[in-house]
A and B are shown apart, each in its own frame.
Chain A
């Protein structure tokens, strides 16, 4: 049991990150923290792909290195996904700046109150 877990400790970390991210997304009223949670959630997924590509004792996928190689495809995919994630974060932060200048707060509940009062 312990060994089985130890073999999959990376996956454990992945799901821990996913859990933390989800909790922050739902539980936090602060918009910036929500975005941070979203980032953590995505990072978990990125690590999941990287972990899946790993083969015990293999070398990086370079022609100069001896085989066997770890799978290169997930790395490429995740590179793309990271770019997407960065752009998402940028857009989100841009929106938050606008929201802050509009309502003067980053707290979700406070904003809801402002809207209700309008």
Chain B
């Protein structure tokens, strides 16, 4: 028994406070301190993960009150995956943010708070504790989105806040129903108590409905995705990368936890309607998310809608509810985080280097910024599911799971999602490589481009879209592209490691 599960939550909070205090003494001390905290976090997360992938999860009882009365932290393979993912992505984005991102100490304090919230959501074994961490994550995310300049980011953050709070409130209401039905909040205890109450009880079913609805908002499943495009587009680039890579991902993890650890597969089998809701959410998200992505003109909004579509795949895997699909869900969560985070960082790199934020502005990018165009292409193709990138492997598992479960409509949509994803990425690939740069062609496009750049930076001048481009930024983007491919090759071992965890989830 070790204190590691508690430490990985506490360390970023300590780091956050340290950053805040250091800021009082001296400005611009945030970044180095945050890096130290993130490095510690990565170390802790990896150590924790090395223990968690066993037959038994790592358990930690907070404050000496044993479960089910006290709060318990439970780290199994899936939680450990999330903890490592959060730590690594946070460190990677820091590498990018040194030159690019907001530089104030308060920014880095909130940044670390977000890491703490996400880690907390991943390791907790108590539903109310999960709510608290969900809200901490939310608060930090709202503040980070608002850290961009101008009114647009504030407006996006407020929208995000209102919708997100409603989601979290529904989640809380769901907890209330579950608590009324069973009198417990510990996840493991809940699963046995809920079974004792009976899956036909309206209280239990209402609790499921509310918890899932709340998490749907956080995952950004269509039609409750509305906060996402505005938030991603309004936030500074490093923030959109961090949030897109982690927040919805951990919310999807929470959905897996709630559905499988709390309500269990038997509940899904006993309540066909619950499954139908999940399938419907998945299918609609995949199709409509892609369709909306095709219609976007701004690159970050397009990427946001792409997330809606990709998380449809994960929700689909949850609906399928067998081992193969869940392994696929875990792989796709990790893969999507790396690829989507990388895409947002690349779009930020492009915006800093050339001032371009619209899809039309990407014309001829390959000549102006070969590194950016190359990384974007690799990540986009990985997202489409071109093998051997990680996007393909996740899709393979999920599709195979859907076929094994013989949920044909879902299987068809999952396979077709390749084409839907292609539909919005091919526009960009084509513009980057097979069109002349916009400056050379027409003056109209150039002014459009400047207007777009000006919109983001709130009209402070035509060159304001241009920003610094550091080695760290390029390196982060390239690492993301390489990871997207390399993870695809290493995924088998990961799937094997995850096997005991998945079996426990489905037991």
Contact = CB atoms under 8 A, between A and B. Distances in A.
Q: Do chains A and B touch in the complex (CB under 8 A)?
A: yes
Contacts of A102: 150-151, 154
B172 A81 contact: yes
Contacts of B455: 118
Contact of B135 (A88, A92, A103): A88
A95 to B, nearest CB: 5
A20 interface: no
A44 to B, nearest CB: 9
A41 B139 CA distance: 18
A98 B185 CA distance: 39
B179 A118 contact: no
Interface in B162-194: 162, 165-166, 169, 172-173, 176, 179-180, 183, 185
Interface in A84-111: 84, 87-88, 91-92, 95-96, 98-99, 102-103, 111
A25 B162 contact: yes
Contacts of A80: 128, 132
B166 A38 contact: yes
Contact of A45 (B142, B172, B179): B172
A92 B180 contact: no
B152 A45 contact: no
Nearest to B156: A95
A42 interface: yes
B250 interface: no
Nearest to A35: B162
Interface residues of A, number: 32
B154 A49 contact: no
A45 B169 CA distance: 7
Interface in A36-77: 38, 41-42, 45, 48-49, 52, 71, 73-74, 77
A34 to B, nearest CB: 6
A95 B157 contact: yes
Interface class of chain B by DSSP: helix
Contacts of B155: 99, 111, 115
A49 B169 CA distance: 12
Contacts of A92: 158, 161-162
B179 A74 contact: yes
- Choose among B138, B142, B152, B158 the residue with the greatest number of A CB atoms under 10 Å from its CB: B158
Given A91-B139, A95-B157, A48 B151 contact: no
A98 B157 CA distance: 11
Given A87-B139, A99-B154, A45 B176 contact: yes
A104 B167 CA distance: 29
A14 to B, nearest CB: 9
B139 A52 contact: no
B180 A115 contact: no
Contacts of B162: 25, 34-35, 38, 92
A91 B128 CA distance: 22
Nearest to A111: B155
B179 A88 contact: no
A84 B135 contact: yes
A15 to B, nearest CB: 10
Contacts of B135: 84, 88
- Choose among B139, B142, B173 the residue with the greatest number of A CB atoms under 10 Å from its CB: B173
A34 B157 CA distance: 14
B165 A96 contact: no
A98 B151 contact: yes
Contacts of B179: 49, 52, 73-74
Contact of B158 (A41, A81, A95): A95
Contacts of B23: none
A71 B184 CA distance: 12
A48 B150 CA distance: 39
B176 A31 contact: no
Interface string B286-323: 00000000000000000000000000000000000000
A99 B131 CA distance: 28
B459 interface: yes
Given A38-B162, A102-B151, A95 B172 contact: no
B128 to A, nearest CB: 5
Contacts of A34: 162
Contacts of B166: 22, 25, 38, 41
B169 A41 contact: yes
B143 interface: yes
Contact of A95 (B132, B161, B183): B161
Contact of A48 (B128, B161, B176, B459): B176
Contacts of B176: 45, 48-49, 52, 74
A34 B135 CA distance: 19
Contacts of B139: 84, 87-88, 91
B123 interface: no
B146 interface: yes
A92 B155 CA distance: 10
23 contacts: A34-B162, A49-B176, A49-B179, A52-B176, A73-B185, A80-B128, A84-B135, A88-B135, A88-B138, A88-B139, A91-B139, A91-B142, A91-B143, A95-B142, A95-B146, A95-B157, A95-B161, A98-B154, A99-B151, A99-B158, A102-B151, A111-B155, A115-B152
Given A73-B185, A87-B139, A95-B161, 7 more contacts: A25-B162, A42-B169, A81-B172, A88-B165, A95-B154, A95-B157, A102-B150
Interface of B: 128, 131-132, 135, 138-139, 142-143, 146, 150-152, 154-155, 157-158, 161-162, 165-166, 169, 172-173, 176, 179-180, 183, 185, 455, 459
Nearest 5 CB-CB pairs, A to B?
A102-B151, A98-B154, A84-B135, A95-B158, A52-B180
